[in-house]
Chains A and B, each alone.
Chain A
Amino acid sequence: MTEQPWQVHFKIYRQRSGQKPYIQTLTLAVDPDEYILDAIERIWANHDRTLTYRHACHHSTCGACGMRVNGCEKLACITTIRSVTQNGGNLRIDPLRNFPVVSDLVVDMGDFFLRMNKSGFDSVALSEAACLPYEKPKILMDQAEQVTERLVDCIECGLCISACPAANTDKEYVGPAVLASIQFMYAQNPSQELIDQADHHSGLWRCHSAYECTQVCPSGVDPAWRIMDMRKKVLTDRIKSIFRPRSQEKKNA
């Protein structure tokens, strides 16, 4: 421990399935440099064994520990207490928004995972498929002739969906992570099926450019850039189709 412990007032959203939610308050002595997930685990271990939350890897890889910390979406396993409050301060913990609450901090992400699957999301891709400059490590560019693979950045944590104002009001909205996945899959292997998943009013065109997805994404996916890139691809395709001879249109269909 680097300094005296901090006293922090935790205010945690509690809800049993179908029951009225309430806020549980408790004050804990914490090391300011410990992670929020560590404090939650201690609350569970020493104070209240009925508290439910998701976690697995504890190093920002599994995407399980997404929650809202003082109103902002964070991975609890990599967010230090110091970065979000102060000695004597409050720490409000809520479940992610825009997903149904199963219990306390656990939300039902089933639909989201199914949509990711439908887009063909794969956690490994060829390095040459990388779109953004920081996705191509320098060393790989120097060895351009070698075929290399990289882990895709999205960890399916759902933070972007929780932060998105469009996802707040439209159940059918495909959502930033899935649109980002569609863009990435399309960049590797363009198909009409992927365009159909994205090019409709609850898809690409539901985004109203608040850029919150990119702001909260803990993994550098930049979903907003990918949504705009996919829009560009769809618009370019539509413009080209005006000038395409009809015979070719039929062939492409």
Chain B
Amino acid sequence: MRMITRLALLALVAWATSGLAHAGVSAPLQVHDAWIRVLPGALPNAGYAILTNPGNQEVKLVAARSNAYARVMLHESSESGGISRMHAVDHLSVPAHGSVRLAPGGYHLMLMHAVHPVKIGSRVTITLRFADGRTQDASFLARPANASGVND
């Protein structure tokens, strides 16, 4: 009896794991080097990552949200005529078999109004939403204000 239970449990675990593996395969993007620049106090933060699309079809990121922030926006910084600007973008396309880099000075996730102070070194989950309605969770590492990247 005990043996049977254990077998059943093993089967259950195997089934659950394969299910998870399936969910992994269906994630539209691979997310690498994801980090957040945490600014002091109530100031907005910025999220960065490398988004890679292993699929045969373009993936269109249209929105993002997080339980850690009241509002998340897709933003782009640009410079022209010696003036720095920042504006909202309504979507970000990751080409088939290509990547898009969210990096300081360019595309970023604008993270507004942290619900609680975000601790340096902690991880924040940000949910990406795509044009076809699919979503994907990504884990971002909280880094200090003067960090240059995910590692330095």
* Chain A bound to chain B: no
- Using a CB–CB cutoff of 8 Å, the interface residues on chain A facing chain B are none
Binding site for A on B (CB under 8 A): none
